């Protein structure tokens, strides 16, 4: 039975277990990797320079979010005003938000990932990945793009009667 606030995958068989395991790995592994990286950088360049570098990347992240976010918002506004579907602009907005949050989180690995998602010359690659993930999740139940190895959608033979 679904609870009003339950996540769509909570307790749903194999996929739900996979999502929970992935979440646990991310919540445990990412902080451990970030701490290890900060310690290694601190050993290499010293404690205060490491803290300053972390603060600098957060400030840079806030600046880039503001700059790229306003560009993404303007592009979305232009697309809506011209009457065309703003799929690219929405994807850019999501990527700017995700990349900005990753840059604001203290740590060098999240900063690197955030920069890859956020920078204008690497964002098209992230956009392709995002579009493929959305297509796989949203369109597969309707016979759209499927994962490799999955068969064609079920076909029901019928006859049209007026």
* Model pLDDT for residues 73-129, shown as the tens digit of each residue: 888 888 889 988 888 888 888 888 888 888 888 899 999 999 888 887 888 888 888
pTM assigned to the model: 0.66
End-to-end C-alpha distance for the chain, whole angstroms: 40
106 phi/psi in degrees, rounded to 5: -65, 130
Nearest C-alpha neighbor of 38 from the set 116, 96, 105: 105
- Cα-based distances in Å from 124 to 16, 73, 88, 144: 30, 17, 10, 22
Domains of the chain, by residue range, sit at 46-141
CA 94 remoteness from chain centre: 7
Q: What is the pLDDT of residue 131?
A: 81
Give strand ranges (E) for the chain: none
For the CA atoms of 106, 109, 112, 118, what is the dihedral angle to 10 degrees? -60
For the CA atoms of 123, 124, 126, 131, what is the dihedral angle to 10 degrees? 140
């Amino acid at each position: 039975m679904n609870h009003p606030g339950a996540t769509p995958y909570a307790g749903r068989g194999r996929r739900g277990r996979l999502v929970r395991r992935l979440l646990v790995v991310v919540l445990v592994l990412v902080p451990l990797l970030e701490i290890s990286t900060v310690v290694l950088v601190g050993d290499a360049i010293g404690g205060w320079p490491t803290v300053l570098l972390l603060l600098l990347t957060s400030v840079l992240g806030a600046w880039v979010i503001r700059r790229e976010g306003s560009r993404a918002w303007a592009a979305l506004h232009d697309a809506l005003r011209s009457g065309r579907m703003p799929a690219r602009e929405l994807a850019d907005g999501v990527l700017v938000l995700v990349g900005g949050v990753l840059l604001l989180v203290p740590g060098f690995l999240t900063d690197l990932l955030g920069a890859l998602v956020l920078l204008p010359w690497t964002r098209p690659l992230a956009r392709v990945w995002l579009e493929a993930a959305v297509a796989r999740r949203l369109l597969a139940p309707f016979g759209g793009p499927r994962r490799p190895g999955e068969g064609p959608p079920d076909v029901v033979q019928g006859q049209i009667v007026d």
